[in-house]
Structure 1
């Protein structure tokens, strides 16, 4: 088991099998966020926070589009089962003590996005000798950069005054989401010979 992607190909590019498995996970996670942001978007904005929701939707869509084009895809039959388990994990989960459906949906989206953006650091998988000319390498670096920016919006919402009365419920939901995303990400990496150190 390695801590990084590899062994690299002779030109320093990441192996297509590893690209496919990592990209499939990231497309599933960011695609789920894009779909759920799209459903949460109102037809007309009547609150300032909805502008951020719109921006997040387009950023997630951009990440999916980038991965679809930058990845060297190869057939991977194990993905059928893996993708099904990932997609089930992204579904909304009830948040204790939150009766308002709109607030519960917002908390679900923010905790899922926080867990994905904070818990998945794809560029950290790249060895120093990875080729700068590999579109996949550049995509992973770009995704991590965007994730760090998007994370700020989730932090502001989750720590905002509107959720102060529900702090314990939000913290518990966030902890559950982080544990689940971390488990699925680690399982995906282990399936291609990479071990993440906590």
Structure 2
């Protein structure tokens, strides 16, 4: 197994079947985040931290929109089953020790977003010979750049003083989400002939 996408075409493009599976996974994950951010957004912003929710919602939506347009799609019958397992994995999970359902949902969402943004590094899969001007290649670089920015907001929330009394519950939720996202990402990469992604 290779550690990178490819082999690339003579023009430096990533094979369409790999583009399709990687993009489908990323759209599923970032689409789930966008939907959940939209659900958490109030009709009117009453607190400063809610402005960050609004920004994250639009950035996740932008990632999905970018991938839909930048990917060279091909028919892949195996995606039906994979999509079902991915979508069920993103569903809200209870957070042990948190009685307030809205706070528990915020912790779940921040933990999922942290796991997606920190655990999935799609641009690291690009070989040196990939065409830097290809829309899909540029999209993966853009997603990784945005993930770094979005990750900072998740860290500030999860390490904030408001959650200090719930540190153990937050740590457990983070560990669970990271393990789940890593497992799904690893299975996807293996399905397109890629071993452990490069560090």
**TM-score when scaled to structure 1?**
0.99
CA offsets 1:65-98 (integer angstroms, 9 cap, x no match): 0000000000000000000000000000000000
Q: Shift in Å at residue 137 of structure 1? A: 0.2
C-alpha distance in 2, partners of 1:165/1:133?
Answer: 48
CA offsets 1:38-83 (integer angstroms, 9 cap, x no match): 0100000111110000000000000000000000000000000000
Partner of 2:14: 14
Equivalent position SS for 2:2: coil
C-alpha distance in 1, partners of 2:131/2:76?
Answer: 24
C-alpha distance in 2, partners of 1:39/1:194?
Answer: 35
Q: Shift in Å at residue 10 of structure 1? A: 1.2
C-alpha distance in 1, partners of 2:162/2:44?
Answer: 22
C-alpha distance in 1, partners of 2:76/2:9?
Answer: 19
Relative to structure 2, which stretch is displaced further, 150-159 or 127-136?
Answer: 127-136
C-alpha distance in 2, partners of 1:13/1:133?
Answer: 9
C-alpha distance in 2, partners of 1:112/1:27?
Answer: 14
2:80 counterpart of 1:80: yes
Q: Shift in Å at residue 132 of structure 1? A: 1.3
Superposition CA RMSD, Å: 0.7
C-alpha distance in 2, partners of 1:193/1:14?
Answer: 13
Give runs of aligned pairs for residues 134-153 of structure 1, distance below 5 A. 134-153=134-153
Partner of 1:23: 23
Partner of 1:42: 42
Partner of 1:169: 169
Give runs of aligned pairs for residues 154-193 of structure 1, distance below 5 A. 154-193=154-193
Q: Shift in Å at residue 133 of structure 1? A: 1.9
Note the residue ranges of structure 2 that are not aligned, 5 or more in a row. Answer: none
Aligned residues: 198
CA offsets 1:133-154 (integer angstroms, 9 cap, x no match): 2100000000000000000000
